[in-house]
Amino acid sequence: MATASHLLRTLRAFHLDKPDATWDYLRGHLKELAEGILASPCVWDQLGPTGRIYADVREDLEEIAVTEPLSVAQAKATEVSRRMMTAGEWRALGELGPIMDIIEELSPPDSIKPAPQTLEASSPVVSGPVITFATLSAYYMEERGGDLKESSMRSVRTCCDILSKALGDMDMATHTRADLVAIRETLKEGRKATTVNKFMTQLSTVLTWAVDNGHIKQAFCKKLQILKGADSGRIAFEGAQVEALVAHANSLPADSWHRWALTLGAITGARVGEINQLEATDFTEVDGVLVMDINDNDGKSLKNKFSARKVPLVEAYGIDLGALKEFIAAADGRLFTHTAPAFTMALNQRIREVLEIETKVGQSFHSLRHHLAGALKAAEVPLGTAQEILGHSSGSITFDLYGAGRAVQVDRMAEALKVALSVS
């Protein structure tokens, strides 16, 4: 029986489609994947557990273990990969120990381990130069800078600067677990748990990289995440607030960019950056349904590879899709010409004015996305459909708008949005 397409993707992702691959080759690739899990931030919002993608891939691997012919090396890699996905789920909950254990397990053994030597009392102890976190993070950013987008690099640089100041002249070659715990407690002062966890993740990433590259011998950075009180500070809008925002948008002139930015955020849950980049060519009709295509064409950027998606636009809250089509038709290329910071700042200011809320209350344009996620969940929309709408699709979900069955998929998502937005 032919291998299913979703299994083929998983086989290729883990290089299990190479029957002649040696264990050393597979181990090196799996180690890169494990380090990628550690380095990847948790980006899902409030729709289900962040680790769902790892659960989906683990199910594929379990099916592969049952149905596919495997060599000894492939069988060993499949088993490690399954455990890696479980470790990924724990990592998504802030528990770094399991994925760190996988990385250590996959690290190549030392070829030669020198016998321990006993220093005589008269022998002087020669200490090397102090290796500070600032030095290690500089090496790390120099090597990895080419792999990261500028926006991601700015975030890494900011985290590393804060950590460097907190760690000061501490010698990372001789640091202890107590040292890192003390730094975590220091960073907790005046900061939310989610922010501290972001720092701890970056600290672990740099120190693990430093060990792997021989800059230091060991790192005591496992399980530093704060597990209690680490909920996101972002707060979803209530249904009445969304209705008020859309009512305000509907009252604006048909050529007002504020009107359509707020409208698209309310009915699609798209991120503010995704909306800011939209072009007229990103809107098409499929079997009479207007569809918004979020992509990385023509230099646009996505938050992650799962963000690419096509979302049907539905008439909710009295929105006039005909007027939206006219706004799109009148656009010369991009719908919104503001820079990303100016676009975000102006929309958040408008939201605060309409809803009469203060800054730093956890509500912003992104709260529209949280609201839609909650509305889809409340409407008992199947998880897979909701993931497709919000751009949280896992590797086991195939969605090709221009392939077979596109009308069924567009109709399914449109109906889900209609139900969710009518009961929200």
DSSP class per residue in 63-130: HHHHHS---HHHHHHHHHHHHHHHHHHHHHTT--HHHHHHHHHHSPPPS--PPP-PPPTTSPPPP---
Length of the chain: 424
| 8 A C-beta contact, residue 300 and residue 386 | no
Residue 90: both structure tokens together: 């724990």
Separation between Cα atoms, residue 31 and residue 114, nearest integer Å: 25
**H-run or E-run covering 293:** strand 289-294
Residue 11 within a domain: yes
Are 286 and 163 found together in one domain?
no
Q: Is 282 exposed, middle or buried (0-12, 13-18, 19+ CB in 10 A)?
A: buried
pLDDT tens string for the chain (424 positions)?
345 666 777 888 888 988 888 999 999 889 988 888 877 654 333 334 345 567 777 777 888 888 888 999 999 999 999 888 888 877 776 678 888 889 988 987 653 344 444 434 433 444 558 899 999 999 999 888 777 677 678 888 888 999 999 999 999 999 999 899 889 988 888 787 878 888 998 999 999 999 988 999 999 988 888 876 555 556 889 999 999 999 999 999 999 999 999 999 999 999 999 999 999 999 999 888 999 999 989 888 887 667 888 999 999 999 999 999 999 999 989 999 988 888 988 999 999 999 998 876 678 898 999 899 889 888 888 877 888 888 864 433 333 322 334 445 788 889 999 999 985 5
Q: Give the domain-ending residue among 90, 106, 122.
A: 106
Same domain, 82 and 160: no
Strand, helix or coil for residue 266: helix
**Residue 124: inside a domain:** no
138 domain-assigned: yes
Angle at 392 between CA 249 and CA 310, to 5 degrees: 55
State how far the Cα of 374 lies from the Cα of 361, in Å rounded to an integer: 19
97 with 190, same domain: the answer is no
Q: Rg (Cα) of the chain, in Å, rounded?
A: 25
Q: Are residue 291 and residue 251 in the same domain, yes or no?
A: yes
Domain that holds residue 169: 133-212
Contacting residues for 315 by C-beta, under 8 A, at least 6 apart: 321
- Specify if 36 maps to a domain: yes
Please check whether residues 326 and 413 belong to one and the same domain: yes
Between CA 91 and CA 96 the distance in angstroms is 5
Task: Please indicate, yes or no, if residue 231 is contained in any of the structural domains.
Answer: no
98 and 189 together in one domain:
no
Name the E strands within 127-222. none
Are 194 and 258 within one domain?
A: no
Tokens of 242: 């969304």
pLDDT (0 to 100) of residue 62:
83
Please indicate, yes or no, whether residues 287 and 384 belong to a single structural domain of this protein.
yes
Give pLDDT, residue 4.
63
* Cα 416 from Cα 376, distance rounded (Å): 7
Residue 156 lies in a domain: yes
Residue type at 141 in one-letter notation: M
Domain with 263 in it: what CATH number? Answer: 1.10.443.10
Are residues 406 and 315 both part of a single domain? yes
CATH code of residue 184: 1.10.150.130
Claim to verify: residue 160 and residue 263 sit in the same structural domain: no
DSSP letter assigned to residue 127:
P
Residues 202 and 350 in one domain: no
Residue type (1 letter), 367: S
* CB neighbour burial string for 19-32, b if at least 16 within 10 angstroms, e if fewer: eebebeebbebbbe
Beta strand 309-312 with 289-294: parallel, antiparallel or unpaired? antiparallel
Quote the number of domains for the chain. 3
Who's near 377: CB < 8 A, 6+ residues apart? 47, 48, 386
Instruction: Say if 271 falls within a structural domain.
Output: yes
